[in-house]
Amino acid sequence: MNKPSVREVALDALIKVEKNQAFSHLLLNTTLNKAGLDKRDGGLLTELVYGTIAHRLTLDYYLSPFLVKSKKRDLWVDVLLRLSVYQMVYLDRIPDRAIVHEAVTIAKTRGHKGISGMVNGVLRSIQREGLPDLHDIQEPLTRHSITTSHPEWLLDRWVKQYGEEAAVAMAQANNEHPEVTLRVNHTLATSQEVIQALDKEGVKAEESLLLKELALVVKKGNAFSTNAFKQGLFTAQDEASMMVGLLVHASKDMCVLDTCAAPGGKSTHIAESMDNTGTVRSLDLHKHKVKLIAEQAERLQLSQIHTDVEDARNLNELTERTFDRVLVDAPCTGFGVIRRKPDIRWAKTEKDVNAISNVQAAILANASRFVKKEGTLVYSTCTVEKEENEQVVEQFLLNHPSFKVDESAFQVLPDKIQKEGRFNNFGLTMLPQDFGTDGFFMVALKRV
C-alpha cells in the first residue's frame, strides 16, 4: 500500500476539522505523529492545514466564479479545491502544474472521472482567467471580512470596539506566522546559558527585544527536541502570557493560588519568580489538564507547585483570605490567539462571547474570597472582547468595593508596554499587531 502524500494527509486533517469541529492544533499534533512524515513534510503539512483554514473565506471567494452554485458537492471536493487554490495563491515554491496534477490524482482516487474532470476544469480556469479582484467588493466590512478571511460578525464587533483601522490590522496580524518564543527558567540558567546550550544542539535563538533576559525568540531549529528542553532550562510561552506572570509579581515565600492553571505556563512562571520557594496551588477543572501542569513542573524542577482538580466557581476547601496572590487566567473565546489556532474564528459564535463572560464573572467573584488583605487578584484572558475583559472587571468592582485597580502594578512591565500599551480604567489590552504577541487582557486588583 502506497504511503499517502502530504497533501492527502492534509486533506484528511482539513476534512476532520470541518466535519467534527476538531481543533486544528490538537489534530495536527496527532496527525504528525501518526503520519510518520519527515521534518520537511511535517513543516509543509502544518503550512497547508493552518493556511487553508486561516484563508478559508478568501479561498471560497476566489473559487466562487468557477463553481456552479446550485450543484451540491461532497465536502472533500470543496476542501480539496481550497487546499489547491491556497497553494497556488500563497505558496510560491510549488509550480501550479504540480498542484493541479496532484489535485486531479487525488480526485480520481477518491471520486470518479467526472469529479476529477471538474477539479481539473476549475483549477485550469483559475490559471487561465485569473482570480476575482477583492477590490470589486463594494461594502467595506464585507471586503475586509473576505480579504482577511474573518467572519463578518466578528470583524463587525472589533470595528465597534477598536475602530476600523485597528480591527483590520488585528485580522491581518492573525494571518501571520507567530514566532516561537521561550521563557527562560531562571532557577536553572540565564538566558545566555540557554542560548549557548541550544546553539550546541543546532538551534539558533536570541534574546527578545520586548522581554530581554526572560524571553528568547527561536530563529532556526526545533528547540523542543533538545536536551536543554528535557533538562527544563526553558518552556514555550508567548510573551503576552509572560506579562501576566510578571503582573502577578510574586516573590520568595509567598502563597499563590492559580485558579485556572492548565497547562501550567503561568503557574511555572510564578514558581520560578519565587525561586521555587513558598507555595503555588494550581487548580483546573479537567483532570487530564491538571496532569499537564504536574508534568511541566517536574520537567522544570519546580517542587513547590501543588495541583488539584477543582472548579474555580466552587472552591470550598480553601481558607478565605490566605493567599498573597490569586490568578484568574479565565477560560475565554480565545480570539487573541487566532494566529496560533486559526480555526477559532470559525468555531466560535457571538453567543459564545455572552455565555463565557458569565462564567468568567463567577470565577472572578469566587476567587476573590481567597485574597488576603493588601493581596493582589490578577485577572487575564487571551481574548480581545471587552465583554469578557473590561466589562467583567467593571462589574466585579461594582460588586466588590474592597478591591480596586492597582495601576502601579503595571510598572513591572517593559517600558515599551507602559508607553504604548492600550490602558484604560479597567486594565491593559494587547492586540496582536501592537507588539507582535498574542492578544491578551490583564489587570491587577488590590484588596484594600
255, 260, 332, 382: which is the annotated catalytic residue?
A: 382
Q: Are the CB atoms for 56 and 18 separated by under 8 Å?
A: no
Contact partners, residue 90, CB within 8 Å, separation at least 6: 51, 55
Cα–Cα distance, 39 to 233 (Å, whole number): 24
Residues β-bridged to residue 447: 403
- 3-state class (DSSP) for residue 329: strand
- C-alpha triplet 11, 15, 17: angle, nearest 5°: 120
Q: C-alpha cell of 254?
A: 509567598
Task: Count CB neighbours of 420 within 10 A.
Answer: 12
Q: Which residues contact 210 (CB under 8 A, 6 or more apart)?
A: 239, 414, 416, 417, 435, 436, 437
382 is catalytic: yes
Locate 375 and state its grid cell. Answer: 493581596
Number of H helices, E strands in the chain: 20, 13
In whole angstroms, what is the distance from residue 417 CA to residue 406 CA? 16
Please choose, from the candidates 326, 401, 334, 404, the residue with its C-alpha nearest in 3D space to the C-alpha of residue 366: 326
Q: String of b and e for 330-344 (b: at least 16 CB within 10 Å)?
A: bbbbbbbbbbbbbbb
Closest CA to 330 of 399, 277, 283, 398: 283
140-148 vs 164-173: helix crossing angle, rounded to 10: 20
Could you tell me how many residues make up the chain?
448
Sequence-distant contacts of 285-290: CB under 8 A, at least 24 apart: 285/260, 285/309, 285/310, 285/311, 285/312, 286/262, 289/262, 289/263, 290/261, 290/262
**Residue 5, burial from CB neighbour count under 10 angstroms (0-12, 13-18, 19+):** middle
Could you list the active site residues?
382
